[in-house]
Amino acid sequence: MVVGELAHERDVVIIGGGPGGYNAAIRAAQLGLSVTLIEKDQLGGRCLNKGCIPSKVFTHASIKNAELKHLDELGISFSDSSFQLGKLQNYKAKVINQLRKGVESLCKAHKIEILKGKASFLSNDRIGVEANDSFEVYRFQHAVIATGGKLIPPKHIQIDHERILNAQSIFSIETIPKHLIVYGSDYIALEIAMSFNTFGSQVSFILDDEKEEFSFDSSINRELQRVMKKSKIKIYKNRKIIQATSTLENVTVELETNEGNRETLEGSHFFVSCKTKANIDELGIERLPINLTNKGFIEINQVGQTSIQNIYAIGDVTEGDALAVKAIKQGKVVAETIAGIDSEIDLTFIPTIVHSVPPIASVGLTEEEARKEYESINIGQFPLASNGYASILGQKDGFIKVISDAKNDLILGVHIIGAGAVELISSGVIGLENVARDEDIMFPLYPHPSINEGLLEAIEALKEKAIHKPPQKGTKVNLKSK
Amino acid sequence: MVEVKLHDIGEGMTEAIIIQYFVKKGDHVKADQPLVEIQTDKMTAEIPSPSSGVISAILIPEGQTVSVGTSLILLEGNEKTTPNKSKTSEEQVAVSAAVDYSQEQAKTLHQTSKSKRVLASPYTRKIARENGVDLALVTGTGPSGRIMDEDVYRFIEVKKGSGEQKEATSSHSVEKQLKNTTSPEQKSNEMVKETDENVIPFRGRRKQIAKKMSQSLYTIAHCTHFEEIDVSELIKLREELKENNLNISATAFFIKALSLSLKQYPIFNAKLDEENEVIRLEKEHHFGIAVDTEDGLIVPVIKNVESKSLRQIHDEAKLLTKKALENQLTSKELTGGTFTISNVGPLGGSIGATPIINYPEVALVAFHKTKKRPVVTENDEIAIRSMMNISMSFDHRVADGATAVQFTNYFMKLIENPKFMLVEMV
């Protein structure tokens, strides 16, 4: 370390160039602050390089693959419809490269200084950046910790990145697994299970943490299991993993049921969905010190500020879902707060999405949560099989479900499984944020024909007014009284 | 745990201002002990404790307007509980968490749960943030309890009005530092930093009066005409009655005569319903009587004047006035009026006025001082008569000047010849 070094002076120093970090950097630059972004690896972070984006390349390919049968129905046939994983890997690399370049040029355009290196705090206004042989010290007014999370495998499982894979290694796989065993219940586990299923892998799905159910709305859980069963994905519930062992050729996963019965699953590959922990080990924050939560994440308030007032934290280093949507929002709020603007993070209506086949998207309360919190609720559910456009697309699985407070028609939650779910959920998010009641969503005009109309009919179904849904048997509908 | 809520203490009440709490956190209270004083449109009331116990939290600060159903106080009961059973323990946690919100130093993200939903649009939330308003303390008046822009602005006003120097509830010090020099709240606080004698709080009844008056003036097309009435015969009649130990006030006669006139001209006992494009004639004559009290104007209502005797009207008017002066009127006695009178005669002075109609009524009549004046009689002689001026304001959207003149003429006939009233009495 250099002794008696001269520190460089900076307004805002951001550590980590993932979605949280670069959003914070650009927003801060937009607000006239001089910004330095420190990244030890590549801009875009785990999301762009190893997470969201690569996984979506795979799910996109799987969705297209699943459509092949339908294309044939439409008269479009291919003599050779083989799937080449290698080509997909090239495509993935191209997309990631393009997006990363985009981020880099945006940062450049905003005159954001990018430092390559490993950062560690020296005090609450100084940070050292180590790159190759050099060690430079920067003095900052404000710092933002955006160093992300680290994947932690469950107990008794060792990720070898060959046969036993996690989210970082599975998308670099070079052959399509013959029999893929998936352990998890989150979006990543589902996306991987469904993707490789359409690529031709046999898939077995073990719900993690001895779960009995997925954690979506109960109706979504049912439909999801029906769809998985239809795709011949076998689901194992209430199972504990005793151990997983791999050889050069295959993987053996030993399970124990609730009753204590042992069973063994043999597969070619084993994917393990991991929890995350804050990536703060080499950051030197214990020197400051910054308060951590019980779970070991950095404690922040509603503007992303840590226990040290000029240091902020965003994204996976903070508690809550390890989702880029959270990091992006926090990044912007933190930048605005530093610039003196009143801003706020509220993740109440964070949408949960799964790019599975069919996709799942959800926001607000599930039926079960709503029943706990409200005296009486209305449920409106509309099957996509009754939506004209879904029929044209040949994607009739799934439904749209809306939950409202029966007392005052306030919308409480929107849950979608089926074509268009991910794009359509935005309507639900906007509705919830704007305190919408049923009429607020029922009144607008919906493009026809489109999946959007499914949302309209689900809202109408709250009071049995959906046009393309027959009345429930034994109920006499009197719309006037409603 | 018992939640003490603002309940409807009379018909039609939708909101009230918290005037003052008689208790503080930690106080032991007995059942029926008054906990808080509230003020509605026109009355003040106390909310008693539903059971004995210890005050565990005060949820709404003084000076804030809240709607019916809002929880005001949390009471740790040790006797019977009230029907306001709270649903889940989770909810209680949410409520108490909201209370401690402002004291909490760092509200970390992971505490945000779906059940603590903020019922305000993102735009409204921004306004709140920019003004340092904690939405957990604001009561929404919008649909389904939604917090509207106006609710936030009103909250800011109330806060300013109460002269609270309380810091904005932002829990992070950097924001405070940034704001210390520029906070709009602080600036306005400095502006109103005057000596106490100079400042009259614009709250409570004064503010309610202001609100009602401007609503009336902005809505109703006011038109006022004056008339002078010879009340000599009425005075004579009252004296005769007095000799027989029957004391009936002039006001009672005026009310009865007005009621009889309204039977002829029911258009002045009506309500204009613009939304449905109708004028509704009210069958019943509920007379509001304007009473001047220390706190300002208040209008108790005598119900069903059309079917009451002069004596009943007299007694009721007397009782209501007394209650008004002692601030003991109930909400029932203050609502439902269809016509209003204002007898400013006894106050001395004033020969005419342009009274503001008690919205949404259609008309109001003010009675001025009765004076002996020289009057030219039918026989072209000058006589000394007791004369009184009246001013009648009416809603020109609903009725026209000619009808109003016919109305006061009819009334004049009844007062100048009280015997005519007999003919119309039911």
- State the pLDDT at residue B75: 81
Cα separation, B225 vs B359, in Å, equals: 18
In chain A, where the domains are located: 8-151+277-338, 154-273, 358-468
CATH topology of domain A358-468: Enolase-like; domain 1 (3.30.390)
Q: What whole-number distance in Å separates Cα of residue B169 and Cα of residue B156?
A: 13
Burial profile A19-43: b = 16 or more Cβ within 10 angstroms, e = fewer: bbbbbbbbbbbeeebebbbbbbebb
Q: Is pLDDT larger for residue B170 or for residue A204?
A: A204
Average of pLDDT values for A474-482? 57
| Residue A477 confidence class, pLDDT cut points 50, 70, 90 | low
Facing residue for B146 by CB, picked from A305, A340, A435: A435
- Chain B interface mutation, best of A290, A330, A332, A342, highest count of B Cβ atoms under 10 Å: A342
Give CA–CA dist A124/B320, Å, rounded: 70
Which residues on B lie below 8 Å from A439 (Cβ)? none
Nearest-neighbour CA in chain A from B79: distance (Å)? 26
Give the strand pairing for A311-313 and A134-145. parallel
CB contact under 8 A, B109 and A365: no
Whether A358-468 and A8-151+277-338 are alike in CATH topology: the answer is no
Q: Could you read off the pLDDT of B40-97 as tens digits, one per residue?
A: 766 777 788 888 888 888 888 887 888 887 888 888 765 443 334 333 343 333 333 3
Supply the pLDDT for residue B1.
74
- Whether B105 shows a pLDDT value over 80: the answer reads no
pLDDT digits (tens, 9 = 90+) for B261-294: 999 999 999 999 888 889 999 999 999 999 888 8
Chain A residue with the nearest C-alpha to that of B143: A408
Task: Please write the tens of the pLDDT for every residue from A133-178.
Answer: 889 999 999 999 999 999 999 988 999 999 999 998 999 999 999 9
Q: Quick one: average pLDDT of A303-318?
A: 96
Q: What share of chain B is helix, strand, coil (3-state, %, to 5)?
A: 35, 25, 40
- Angstrom distances, CA of residue B149 to CA of A431, B63, B122: 18, 19, 11
Q: What residues contact B258, with CB distance under 8 A and at least 6 apart?
A: B287, B339, B341, B365, B411
pLDDT, tens digit, 9 for 90 and up, residues B354-367: 999 999 999 999 99
- Is the Cβ of A209 closer than 8 Å to some Cβ of chain B? no
pLDDT at B190 over 70: no
Say what the pLDDT of residue B349 is: 65
**B396 annotated active-site:** yes
Q: How far apart are CA B112 and CA B91, in angstroms?
A: 13
Cα B50 to chain centroid distance, Å, stands at: 26
Are A301 and B126 an interchain contact pair (Cβ–Cβ within 8 Å)?
Answer: no
- The whole-number pLDDT of residue B177 equals 40
Q: CB under 8 Å to A294, separation ≥6 — which residues?
A: none
Lowest mean pLDDT among A338-347, B15-24, B98-107: B98-107
Q: Sketch out chain B's domains with CATH numbers.
A: 1-112 (2.40.50.100), 118-201 (4.10.320.10), 219-424 (3.30.559.10)
- pLDDT for res B110: 36
Percent of chain B surpassing pLDDT 90:
39
B310-340 pLDDT per residue, tens: 999 999 999 999 998 888 888 788 889 999 9
Please tell me the distance from the alpha carbon of residue B54 to that of residue A265, in angstroms, as a whole number.
61
What is d(CA B120, CA A294) in angstroms, rounded to the nearest whole number? 31
Interface with chain A: mutation pick from B108, B123, B124, B148, highest number of A CBs within 10 Å: B108
Average pLDDT in the A463-479 region?
Answer: 79
Domain A154-273 has CATH 3.50.50.60: yes
Size of interface A-B (CB pairs under 8 A): 85
Q: Which residues of A touch B121 (CB under 8 A)?
A: 433-435
Name every chain A residue with its beta carbon within 8 A of the beta carbon of B144: 405, 408-410, 435, 437
What is the residue-averaged pLDDT of chain B?
79
Question: How confident is residue B180, by pLDDT bands cut at 50, 70 and 90?
Answer: very low
| Per-residue model confidence as pLDDT tens digits over A50-105 | 888 999 999 999 999 989 889 999 999 888 778 899 999 999 999 999 999 999 99
CATH topology of domain A8-151+277-338: FAD/NAD(P)-binding domain (3.50.50)
**Chain B nearest C-alpha distance from A376 (Å):** 12
Stronger pLDDT, B204 or B114, i.e. the higher one: B204
In this complex, is the C-beta atom of A347 within 8 Å of any C-beta atom belonging to chain B?
A: yes
Which of A16-30, A219-233, B40-54, B113-127 has the weakest average pLDDT? B40-54
Q: Report pLDDT for A480.
A: 60
Residue A85: which region, alpha, beta or left (left: phi > 0; alpha: psi -120 to 50)? alpha
Contacts of A435 in chain B (CB under 8 A): 119-121, 142, 144, 146
pTM: 0.61
What residues in A contact B91, CB-CB < 8 Å? 373
The pLDDT value given to residue A395: 94
Q: Name the nearest CA neighbour of B364 among B250, B269, B252, B235.
A: B269
